[in-house]
Structure 1
Amino acid sequence: MEGGWKQSIVKEVKKQLYLSGPLIAIGLFQYSLQLISITFVGHHGELALSAASLATSFASVTGFALIVGVGTALDTLCGQSFGAEQYHMLGVYSQRAMLVVSIINIFIAIIWANTKHILIAVHQDATISREAGQYILFMIPGLFAHGLLQCLIKFFQTQNRVCGMMLLSGITSSFHAIVCLSLVFKSGLSIRGAALAISVSYWLNVLLLAFYIKFSASLTDTWTGFSIEAMHNIFSFIRISIPSALMPCLKVWSFELMIFLSGLLPNPKLETSVLAVCFNTAQVVWVIPFGLSAAVSTRVSNELGAGRPKAARVAANVGIFMAIAEGLIVALIIVLLRNVWGRVFSNEKGVVKYVETMVPIVAASSFLDGNQTVLSGIARGCGWKKIGAWINLGSYYLVGLPVASVFAFVLPLKAKGLWLGIVAAFSVQILLFIIITIRGNWEKQANKAAGRVNASNIPVAVVSQG
């Protein structure tokens, strides 16, 4: 019995490593598109860099984060359908999601088209706002590609086909650097060329994945062509996708509010610069637990869809322990690099020394963020999106922001106080997610998964596992 238990653990670890490795790489490739463009823009001076950074932040808050969240509804729907062997539903759900995100993107595009006026209205520098408005206009074509891309990524991920997707993402990232060089320095578009390059690269990635689907014999069961069935139950999908979207958005929005609060501190230029370094650090290392989160979400949803609740619970437990191990390693690396990390982002001595004092807090928050990210993945796999949205709302806005405000302005710990607010939010998140995970009735979740996949009219029974 004990040998069988150990064997199942080892088997599950291998499955999650197989999934998470390519997914981490894909996350890095996706993140590199924005980073490469910003790097090229940086050679055009401080105004160009400020405008592009502001536009990128605005795009994330108002568009990209929302669409990524909507796409995570497929973690539950496609993952559980694949486990239930209702393979054709993966294509149907993905097409339905594409339709929904495309409609949403029309409204986001209208907001982006008015970026200059919105930024000026919230008292941003007029010159930077005008440049940011121009930059984001050239990202609008990429917005629609980004929406389709998120749906396609989930389509592949939930059926455990990630290696080919990783290869195509790597090709796109390499191509992006060449496109950036041409459009920024050769075309006369200047920094707008960097934004247009993002749009071109997103569309290239979509086309490559579309060709993969078209010519791959292994995907004929999960993509049976465009179906009118995708037009059905649109409002049901929207009801699922709203809490899915809120889970990441509530986090992103609270981080942006932290940046805003840093501008109200004494010496705001220094405080904002240090906080920006910390956020960039957190963003880079977060890609690793994000890959683990996607892997555990897929494994949990697959096992629940197949009617194997005990296997789903094993997958969840393995994911948690992998997150703890990864978090400890990353936190240790951040601490060991504390004397050089600030120099990666700035040459200002004041910023570098301030970052050194922030590193222990950033390391602790990275550990906590990795764990809450994986726990969120378990919630997505189970379909606990409404609960997850409420947890995020309470953690960031009822705990994180008030604690940050008190620590930063009352004590006052300044930027350290703001970051301690983030630590407090992560801590509450983890506590609440662990409670619902431990207390979760996995047999009940498997039965709910069976109900979700009834759209294909194939009954799914929970398999008794002793």
Structure 2
Amino acid sequence: MDDSKSPLLSNQEKREDVGLVNEIGEESRRLWKLAGPAIFTAICQYSLGALTQTFSGQVGELELAAVSVENSVIAGLSFGVMLGMGSALETLCGQAFGAGRIRMLGVYMQRSWVILLVTACILVPVYVWSPPILVFFGETTEISHAAGKFALWMIPQLFAYALNFPIQKFLQAQGKVSVMAWVSAMVLVAHAFFSWLLILKLGWGLTGAAIVLNVSWWLIVIGQLLYILVSKSDGAWSGFSWLAFSDLFGFVKLSLASAVMLCLEFWYLMVLVVITGRLPNPLIPVDAISICMNINGWQAMISIGFNAAISVRVSNELGSGNAKAAKFSVVVVCVTSMIIGVICMAIVLATKDYFPQLFTNSDAVAAETTRLAIFLAITVLLNSLQPVLSGVAVGAGWQSLVAYINIGCYYIVGLPAGILLGFTFGLGVEGIWSGMMGGIFLQTMILVVITSITNWNKEAAEAESRVRKWGGSAAEH
């Protein structure tokens, strides 16, 4: 009897294995269809600042430090706030789209514009008073004044962020990521040429850098907005509406929770640059750590692409009540992202003697950057998974919970450990970075556990409740 059943069981197991492989393949195809253009878009947009930093580094060490600090600290703070506030749309638009409430998306985007434009006005004083702020946090007077002057010129970029992120979340929720990719690619090509022309060829230095960077960000906003206005986005855009000003208080609460969660992540490694500025003779360490953060930022764009993809997949599936598909998508994207992280880590280690030369003509800065490459490689690996798990949290609407986890892991454990190792134990930038990597590792492990024990059926029910709560009927009529 056992012998007669064995072939049947074997065939059934084979069919199950083939079915699982097909499911993985299909889910991977869905993820890459979203993640591919999203990664490309993120890399193009990140490259705007990175290219500006690279061209500025060819002008001089002070210019490199000024652009690096403004990019990573001042603009980094604004980027984190704006992306975080806009990420409320990933939850709301994604779940509304999954539930078939298409016309709600345009109203949500307009509400987000109102909130983010007000937030941008609130952030303007940070740009205006950035020199004393940077000095207060330990940056040298020379670097602070150079970065502060550049920050004043970059205020237009702040308002471009306010419009850009809601537009992107609006398009992402519908899977229209290729539009963002095309617009960003065309702008990047123009940005590279005009950066060379104004910064190096015409010798405009930081003034030229600011002009090109501001114009490039506004071209991205205008290009995407034109697509939405012309195409109507398959019914998701039905024109400007006074509904944009309704339910703002509740919308602000979710936006703030999203902002706190993502800002605590974005600012964490930004703080690394600031703390390094308190070391003795900080110019070379600041330049070296800024180059490493630049490279880390490029790799993080891959993870941010997967962050966007998994957020869309989870929110869409939960919005349509498909809990099993949401859970399966999480597993596939985590494995995929970890594989990519290992590859990126290997590339960093293999090129550690060469990539610093792309960012600086200073031998001292290049040597310091090469010495820090091992820390960069480990950070790259950790950051391959962490943003993906954050994307799961945004898709499911767990922003408030993750914000508390981030405060504990990053600012109660990681940051004090880094300061203790770097200054008290005299390990310098290596000690600061090591302690902060410990915070990232702890946060990632906690998110892995939370994701593993989640009741996805309950999450699907909460998504249905959320769609009803945010005025679907009002927005549709």
> Given the two structures, how large is their TM-score scaled by the length of structure 1?
0.91
Match of 1:213? 228
Q: CA deviation at 1:188?
A: 8.6
User: Would you say 1:54 and 2:54 are equivalent positions?
Assistant: no
Letter paired with 2:387:
T
Q: CA deviation at 1:223?
A: 0.8
8 Å contact kept, 1:271–1:414: no
Match of 1:463? none
Letter paired with 1:262:
T
Q: CA deviation at 1:10?
A: 1.3
8 Å contact kept, 1:362–1:419: no
Q: 1:161 to 1:190 in 2, by over 3 A?
A: same
Deviations along 1:75-113, one digit per CA (max 9) or x if unpaired, are 111111111110111111111111100000011123322
Task: State how 1:77-226 maps to structure 2 within 5 Å.
Answer: 77-119=92-134, 124-126=139-141, 128-181=143-196, 184=199, 190-216=205-231, 219-226=233-240
Deviations along 1:378-424, one digit per CA (max 9) or x if unpaired, are 11110010111111111111111122123323444322222211221
Q: 1:78 to 1:117 in 2, by over 3 A?
A: same
- Identify the match of residue 26 of structure 1 among 36, 41, 61: 41
Match of 1:331? 345
CA distance in structure 1 between the aligned counterparts of 2:56 and 2:49, rounded to whole angstroms: 11
Q: CA deviation at 1:290?
A: 1.1
User: Would you say 1:15 and 2:30 are equivalent positions?
Assistant: yes
Q: CA deviation at 1:331?
A: 1.2
Return 5+ residue gaps in structure 2 as ranges: 1-14
Match of 1:456? 472
Task: State how 1:220-235 maps to structure 2 within 5 Å.
Answer: 220-235=234-249
8 Å contact kept, 2:46–2:297: no
Match of 1:386? 400
8 Å contact kept, 2:37–2:181: yes
Task: State how 1:234-313 maps to structure 2 within 5 Å.
Answer: 234-266=248-280, 268-313=282-327
CA distance in structure 1 between the aligned counterparts of 2:231 and 2:201, rounded to whole angstroms: 37
Identity %: 35
8 Å contact kept, 2:49–2:213: yes
The more displaced of 409-418 and 370-379 is 409-418
Q: CA deviation at 1:124?
A: 4.7
CA distance in structure 2 between the aligned counterparts of 1:206 and 1:270, rounded to whole angstroms: 36
**Paired residue total:** 457
Match of 2:9? none
8 Å contact kept, 2:139–2:274: no
Q: 1:12 to 1:227 in 2, by over 3 A?
A: same
> Given the two structures, how large is their TM-score scaled by the length of structure 2?
0.89
Letter paired with 2:71:
T
CA distance in structure 1 between the aligned counterparts of 2:203 and 2:356, rounded to whole angstroms: 34
Q: CA deviation at 1:247?
A: 2.0
The more displaced of 242-251 and 267-276 is 267-276
CA distance in structure 2 between the aligned counterparts of 1:192 and 1:456, rounded to whole angstroms: 47
Match of 1:362? 376
CA distance in structure 1 between the aligned counterparts of 2:378 and 2:200, rounded to whole angstroms: 41
Q: 1:270 to 1:165 in 2, by over 3 A?
A: closer
Q: CA deviation at 1:54?
A: 2.9
Match of 2:388? 374
Deviations along 1:243-293, one digit per CA (max 9) or x if unpaired, are 211122212333233223323445544433432232222112111111111
Q: CA deviation at 1:366?
A: 1.1
CA distance in structure 1 between the aligned counterparts of 2:290 and 2:63, rounded to whole angstroms: 17
Q: CA deviation at 1:44?
A: 4.0
CA distance in structure 2 between the aligned counterparts of 1:10 and 1:142, rounded to whole angstroms: 40
Output the aligned Cα RMSD: 2.4
CA distance in structure 2 between the aligned counterparts of 1:280 and 1:191, rounded to whole angstroms: 18
Q: 1:270 to 1:53 in 2, by over 3 A?
A: closer
For the residue of structure 2 that corresponds to 1:21, the secondary structure is helix
Return 5+ residue gaps in structure 1 as ranges: 459-466
